[in-house]
Structure 1
Amino acid sequence: MRRACPSLQSTGRSGSSRCSGTMAGPASTDLGRALCVITGASRGFGRAIARDMSRLVKPGSALVLTARSAEDLRSLQVELAESEAGRAGLLLRCVAADLSRQDGLESIVRAAKEAFCEDMDHVVLVNNAASLGDVSRLASSFSDLTEVDSYLSLNVGSALCLTAAVLQAFPRRAGRRRCVVNVTSLCALQPFSSWVLYCTGKAAREMTFRVLAEEEPDLRVLNYSPGPLDTAMQAQARSTTADPGVRESFLDMFAGGRLLSCEASCAKLMTVLLEDRYTSGAHVDVYEL
């Protein structure tokens, strides 16, 4: 029997038992005058987030865009600068950084501080950057501690440390909203053969943000699962996944045109953020929306 691939199905499960967010009144039409920090912004889903957020923030806002590729960031900066928001004065800061290095994290926080104005009323951090890891092997082959530590440092440790640093840089204050988005996956909830690094990283990372939601009641925390996206990472999964059932599921979805576009999934994420009715810390799957 063929196994379902990661992020193919809606889980219908919540990641937190916290009370819901704002329930009364219509959804907002914008994110306010905001500072938005987006990791993994140069390509795929992160690039779609940057485009959508640039259209949803008020004048006087700033986007801090970070990724490893300086060239891809520059092309995104040019694109957004020429957009309606860019022409209206949206501040754009691009930081080419390695999130697994302390100096990389510090450069992002420094850029965020420089871009921030005291009259900004919303700070949004989107932890989107992630790597697939080696899916060509089974769990029993991972005996090198350095290899595993390196993966978890980039995919778990960096998200925790960057989030903590941003929250310290922009502490709780009257009139200031703060929101943290973790881009997660069904792999945070279900195991998939030959995906031990990715599943472990996503599960640990999601629990990180569930704990954060418990500790910071004023903070809005969202674990958003965007579904199977038509990206370079998905192409890598189709070609290198060791488990034949999982690989075949990916190939079938691609052949059947069932992959989601980054733009379609991102539009649903923006709706969730604008409505602001999700349970803080919850796992929200694109197929539930």
Structure 2
Amino acid sequence: KRGGGDSWQLSLGKAACILTGASRGFGRSLALLLAPRLETGSVLIPVARSQGGLAELEAELRCSFPSLKVHSVQADLSTEDGLQLVLRAVQDKLSGAADLERLLVINNAGSIGDISKSFLDFTSPAEVNSYFAFNVTSALCLTSSILKAFPGHPGLCKTVVNISSLCALKPFKTWTLYCTGKASRDMMFQVLALENPEVRVLSYAPGPLDTEMQQLARTKSGDPEVREQLLRMKQSGQLLDCSVSAQKLVTLLLQDTFASGAHIDFYEI
């Protein structure tokens, strides 16, 4: 089902899709754009911490796409219990799903961390470890556990997506945790691609999105230049609508011509 050249498929086939950070912003937009590309009998498992946002998303998906099996999971991925909740749901809901053509794991959940602090302010190991537990450790352990649950399925295309950022490549003042977390995730998924050539791996940087996180960034960043730059982007209309960026990711997945392990930015497409 790979695309070639300019050709691309219209559907992702009969798929099992696990999407973290699905209740709002980019994750919510992505769920709604992926759904029509999943064939009858596909399973979509949106994961998020917000019960309210998840319930709204699930209701909308069930109403608009009745042939899609939607099973949302409320879980805090920074905890062992939260990870186990998601893994149990995956094993439970996918154990009877026959003839799957694709397994799609999208790691979108993440937080920006305390961007009011400079590097020298991070002296508490507990604070740093808590950030990385949610933003790095959970993505690694969840992805590896899901892939291990599907060993040796002939004909099953496995695709793993890491929602990345320009911050994985470029440092920003007072964004120590966020930049480090995004860089760590990019490298982590490059190793996955190298070790497992049968798995398709993509790090997608969605560009500057008009979200709550972006609002937080332009008001709470400790560096005044960063705040001014982000405020100018908002005022001049340079921020992207989540659905516009999510559509580019869906197109990338449908075309399926990217080099496994690649970091692809919204503006490169």
Is the pair's TM-score, using the shorter chain for normalization, greater than 0.5?
yes
The more displaced of 165-174 and 278-287 is: 165-174
CA contact (8 A) 1:182 1:209 kept: yes
1:39 aligns with 2:39: no
- Provide Cα deviations, 1:41-79, integer angstroms capped at 9, x if missing partner: 000000011101111100000100110011110011111
| Deviation larger for 143-152 or 110-119 | 110-119
Query: Are 1:187 and 2:167 counterparts?
Result: yes
Give yes or no for contact 1:91–1:115 (8 Å, CA) kept in 2: no
Deviation at 1:22, TM superposition (A): 5.6
In structure 1, the residue matched to 2:93 is 115
**Aligned partner of residue 270 in structure 1, secondary structure:** helix
The residue that corresponds to 2:153 in the other structure is 173
Percent identity reads 48
Deviations 1:157-177 (A, max 9, x none): 000000001001112321100
* Partner in structure 1 of residue 60 of structure 2: 79
Deviation at residue 243 of structure 1 after TM alignment:
0.8
Question: For the residues of structure 2 that align with 1:74 and 1:55, how far apart are their CA atoms?
Answer: 19
Indicate yes or no: 2:187 matched with 1:207: yes
Aligned residue type for 2:258: Y
1:268 Cα deviation from its structure 2 partner: 0.5
Distance in structure 1 (CA, Å) of the matches to 2:224 and 2:54: 36
Are 2:124 and 1:144 aligned?
yes
Does residue 156 in structure 1 map to residue 156 in structure 2?
A: no
**SS in structure 1 opposite 2:103?**
strand
Distance 2:82 2:150 in 1: 19
CA distance, structure 2, for counterparts of residue 115 and residue 31 of structure 1: 19
Amino acid of the structure 1 residue aligned with 2:59: V
AA aligned to 1:136 is S
**How far did residue 114 of structure 1 move?**
2.1
Q: Tell me the number of residue pairs that the alignment of Structure 1 and Structure 2 aligns.
A: 266
Match of 2:178 in 1: 198
Deviates more, 1:101-110 or 1:205-214: 101-110
Q: How far is 1:137 from its partner? A: 1.0
- Please say if residues 3 and 254 of structure 2, whose CA atoms lie closer than 8 Å, have aligned partners that are also in contact: no
TM-score by length of 2: 0.97
Q: Which residue of 2 aligns with 1:17?
A: none
Listed one character per residue, the Cα deviations across residues 134-160 of structure 1 (whole Å, up to 9, x for unaligned) are 000100010000000000111000000
> C-alpha distance in 2, partners of 1:208/1:136?
27
What is the match of residue 251 of structure 1? 231
- State whether residues 209 and 223 of structure 1, in contact with CA within 8 Å, keep that contact through their aligned partners in structure 2: yes
Distance 2:229 2:48 in 1: 30
* Helix, strand or coil at the partner of 2:44: strand
- Selected match of 2:7 from 9, 22, 26: 26
Superposed structure 1 runs of 4+ greater than 6 Å apart: none
Q: Which residue of 2 aligns with 1:13?
A: none
* Structure 1 residue 187: Cα displacement: 0.4
- Alignment partners' CA distance in 2, 1:146 and 1:43: 28
* AA partner of residue 252 (structure 1): R
What is the distance in 2 between the residues matched to 1:25 and 1:283?
20
Given candidates 234, 238, 241, the residue that maps to 1:261 is 241
Query: Which structure 1 residue ranges, 5 or more long, are not aligned?
Result: 1-20
The amino acid of 1:42's aligned partner reads S
Measured after TM superposition, the shift of residue 23 of structure 1 is: 3.5
- How far is 1:26 from its partner? 2.0
Show the counterpart of 1:69: 50
